[in-house]
């Protein structure tokens, strides 16, 4: 595909405006030195910087006509028909592409499990005391003892290693699974909120082979999933405008599962788009 300069400049401008809207509040907080327990996660746990997210890439197989700035960017080369991702990048990134492709395909092959109720966040504060939790500025809705009781009343079944590794020592034996990095491709399943958020990570790790619009779509999904993740957590974030999803109740469980299924469906679309982009 060859994009005329007018076409790619329009896409570039639209992407930059979209990202400016998505990250503007975060940048303002950062300048003011204010932390946010929900949204900072997208910029601290994930390593893609706002400026990197804002930079527009057309994706593999697209050539840009005219005089694109990409001509001077690493990973691009110019030919008689335009500027595009270089063959050297494809070769250099082959191992990463294959690993990500295998993980995404394995995850897509499994049914979505929706019975975890977000208890991973509760397991991260199980049997802690004041001063031991990550978001110390925000109280636990049920207090420490009430939070422990919720954990002890449920079967935890977390399949995601990067959530499980933050469990307290006392909570780990309560998990029905024992996720490891080596087992990631065997355990990852599409109903997991963290697997849905991680679509953003896999998208940006494939840059510049995937179009930036897809990376931004994954970022938007991750942002919404993160909000549910923390609304269903033991923290009281009502002062920030996040009403709790009370997963310790029947109604809260129902609400959580409904949103979890909707996110799994949206994540499946992005997962397939990522697989198609590097097929």
Would you say 245 and 231 are in contact if contact means Cβ atoms under 8 Å apart? yes
- Tens of pLDDT, residue by residue over 164-196, are 999 999 999 999 999 999 999 999 999 999 999
Bridge partners of 175? 156
Q: Pseudo-torsion of CA 89, 92, 98, 104, nearest 10°?
A: -50
Q: What is the dihedral of CA 274, 161, 140, 200, to 10 degrees?
A: -10
Those residues of the chain that have pLDDT short of 50 are none
Task: Report pLDDT digits (tens) over 23-36.
Answer: 999 999 999 999 99
Show me where the domains of the chain are located. 2-113+183-277
pLDDT at residue 30, as a whole number: 96
**Residue 132 confidence (pLDDT):** 82
């Amino acid at each position: 595909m060859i994009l005329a300069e007018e076409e790619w400049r329009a896409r570039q401008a639209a992407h930059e405006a979209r990202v400016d809207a998505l990250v503007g509040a975060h940048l303002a907080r950062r300048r003011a030195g204010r932390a946010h327990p929900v949204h900072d996660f997208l910029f601290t746990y994930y390593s893609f910087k706002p400026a990197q997210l804002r930079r527009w890439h057309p994706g593999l197989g697209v050539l840009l006509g005219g005089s694109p700035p990409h001509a001077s960017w690493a990973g691009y080369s110019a030919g008689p028909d335009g500027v595009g991702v270089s063959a050297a990048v494809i070769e250099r990134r082959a191992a990463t592409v294959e690993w990500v492709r295998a993980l995404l395909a394995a995850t897509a092959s499994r049914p979505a499990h929706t019975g975890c109720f977000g208890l991973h966040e509760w397991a991260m504060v199980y049997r802690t005391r004041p001063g031991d939790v990550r978001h110390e500025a925000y109280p636990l809705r049920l207090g420490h003892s009430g939070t422990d009781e919720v954990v002890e009343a449920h079967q935890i079944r977390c399949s995601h290693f990067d959530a499980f590794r933050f469990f307290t020592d006392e909570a780990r034996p309560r998990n029905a699974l024992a996720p490891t990095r080596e087992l990631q491709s065997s355990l990852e399943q599409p109903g997991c909120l963290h697997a849905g958020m991680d679509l953003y990570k896999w998208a940006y790790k494939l840059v510049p082979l995937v179009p930036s619009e897809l990376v931004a779509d994954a970022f938007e999904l991750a942002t919404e999933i993160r909000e549910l993740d923390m609304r269903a957590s033991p923290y009281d974030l009502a002062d920030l405008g996040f009403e709790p999803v009370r997963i310790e109740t029947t109604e809260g469980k129902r609400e959580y599962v409904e949103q979890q299924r909707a996110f799994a469906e949206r994540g499946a679309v992005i997962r397939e788009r990522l697989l198609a982009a590097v097929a």
